[in-house]
Amino acid sequence: MVWFFIALFGSFLYALTNHIDKILLEKYFKESGVGTLLLFSSLLSIFALPFFFLADRTVLDVDGVHIIVLSVVGILNILVLWCYLLALKEEEASVTIVFYQLVPVFGLILGYFVLGEVLTQIKLIAMAIVILGTTIISFEIDVENKFKLRRKTIVLMLAASFFWALGSVIFKAVALEENVWRSLFWEHLMLVLIGIIIFAFIRSYRNKFLLAIRNNSKAILSLNILNESLFIFGNIIFSFAYLLAPIALVLLVDSFQPIFVLTIGIFLTIFFPKITVEKIQTKHLWQKIIAICITGIGTYLLFIS
């Protein structure tokens, strides 16, 4: 059961990064927009490269075709991050993250059409359950107890989940032929290169990025470095967990992330409201808890079937 607690800790680290992303968007990048945080996330990936190189000195010995494929994964990761940050800017972290439970649903659909995998009846039921859970969280309850569809959040997080699933399928295909460290090295290298391209050619992102550094350089750099370190550490933890248990079981533990995000959100709202605030009224809590439980059941059925 050691693998379970290792993977669980990885999920907790991911949840922390979700709230740090939200804090950065609310406190430091409210005016400068998502582009600034996107640049920070991609450019700071450069600090992970030496660690991946030390873990495997043969990271440069990668097939040319695989480098091109991993470049596509890097682009997809940027698209995931962009859609996720746009959604997070407008929505609570505990709401946004529930939609990521759709990633395995998209993965199964892609597997069916691209790889010819079979969709069993239990998998179809499980997919329907996950979709039901995300449907529940798709409606916002206002002060008059009226329901309003979160259209923008739905579209952005559907796109993010699809790009994540597609990138995971491509990454897995390459990682099986190379190894995890080589694949992670080139994936993060591509993130850095894409960040440099964005910085060079998108003036509005570049200007806001430089302005943010000048205005709050110490606080911004510290939080972003912490955020990226936690995320990369989470990736490494999950990579080790994959070696200790079947990948389906390890991925199942990732369904705990929304629970951690909600718990951390409640804690921050009660004890540190100046940092960030989530809606924790009874009606909102019940909606979130029910959605998380239903998507969790659906995810469980997906991975055990």
Least confident of 10-14, 102-106, 107-111, 298-302: 107-111
Mean pLDDT on 258-280: 93
Summary mean pLDDT of the chain = 86
Residue 115 pLDDT class (50, 70, 90 cuts): low
Residue 177 pLDDT class (50, 70, 90 cuts): low
Residue 109 has pLDDT above 70, yes or no: yes
Q: What is the pLDDT of residue 251?
A: 67
Most confidently predicted of 125-134, 159-168, 200-209, 250-259: 125-134
Q: What is the pLDDT of residue 112?
A: 79
Q: What is the pLDDT of residue 82?
A: 92
First to last CA, the chain: 21
Q: What is the pLDDT of residue 55?
A: 84
Find, among 97, 85, 96, 92, the residue nearest to 33 by Cα: 85
Q: What is the pLDDT of residue 137?
A: 95
Residue 113 has pLDDT above 90, yes or no: no
Position of tokens 């992670």?
Answer: 184
Residue 166 has pLDDT above 90, yes or no: no
Mean pLDDT on 7-36: 87
Mean pLDDT on 203-222: 81
Residue 178 pLDDT class (50, 70, 90 cuts): low
Residue 107 pLDDT class (50, 70, 90 cuts): confident
Least confident of 47-61, 80-94, 213-227: 213-227
Q: What pLDDT digit, counting tens, does each position of 228-265 carry?
A: 889 888 877 876 776 676 655 676 777 899 999 999 99
| Cα dihedral 233, 236, 241, 246 sign | positive
Comparing 124 with 211, which gets the higher pLDDT?
124
Comparing 246 with 86, which gets the higher pLDDT?
86
Q: What is the pLDDT of residue 298?
A: 92
Q: Give the start-to-end residue ranges of the domains of the chain.
A: 2-304
